[in-house]
Amino acid sequence: MRLQGKVVAITGGALGIGRATAQLFAAEGAAVALGDTQVPEAETVAKEIVGRGGRAIAVGVDVGDAAQVQTYVDRVVADFGRLDVMFANAGIAHAAPFLDHALGQWDRVLRVNLTGVFLCGQIAARQMVRQGGGGRIMITASINGFRGVENLVGYNVAKAGVIELTKTMAVELAPHRITVNAIAPAQIDTRLTRDFSDDAKQRRMARIPMGRFGDVDEVAKAALFLASDDASFVTGHTLAVDGGYLAGGLWSRPAAPPARS
């Protein structure tokens, strides 16, 4: 088991990438603390893990509130004795054209997606420094942090900020043997993307050279690598899990060649 005896905090752990990561990390031997505003859903995941013989708790937390993040980390330490890995995964989005994007929604998205990551990283790192022994911090960024994807200005800016925050944290925390890395998924098959219209799905898949959305388990496996000892000399890096999106740019699958007569 690659995380035997480790204690992991995962924000946004109730659904999607967070849920898949929590289940995988627990299967790899970690004690998992799922932090989320959707507490009943997080409790369901925790019960599933415990039912399979793992260790897990669910904690209500608004990552944009410093006091709540501190309480979350304190609860993790109280229940499991330490904190080895923080996966700052919680995030939200608001879609609107730039000219119509409301200031309130801008503030809301940056509060969760950027300030929330700063708070989770800082408070977790302080705990890791106090206890000694190093640690791992991972962050869910996005391919949108590299590209100006339409109608998502707040989300894009927050994710670009997360990528720079990852680098800065990595440099400052390296002397404490704390690594900091981000994962940048492309479109992933989750509850949210399943609500897309067929036309919207096709337009998004046309930009992915592999021609499909990713699976939450594929992102979770990338997170597992970064959390494990296999990534002990990897820090300040943003790993794209994107089916070739960034390599191909605004890529369109070529039309099939005409049939030969």
DSSP string, 158-180: HHHHHHHHHHHHHHHHGGGTEEE
CB 13 within 8 A of CB 72: no
Tokens of 37: 């505003």
CB 173 within 8 A of CB 147: no
Beta strand segments in the chain, E: 7-11, 31-36, 55-60, 85-88, 135-140, 178-185, 188-189, 214-215, 238-241
Residue that has been written with the tokens 């096709």 in this structure: 202
245 a catalytic residue: no
| Active-site position among 146, 155, 213, 245 | 155
Residue type present at position 45: V
Task: Report the catalytic residues.
Answer: 155
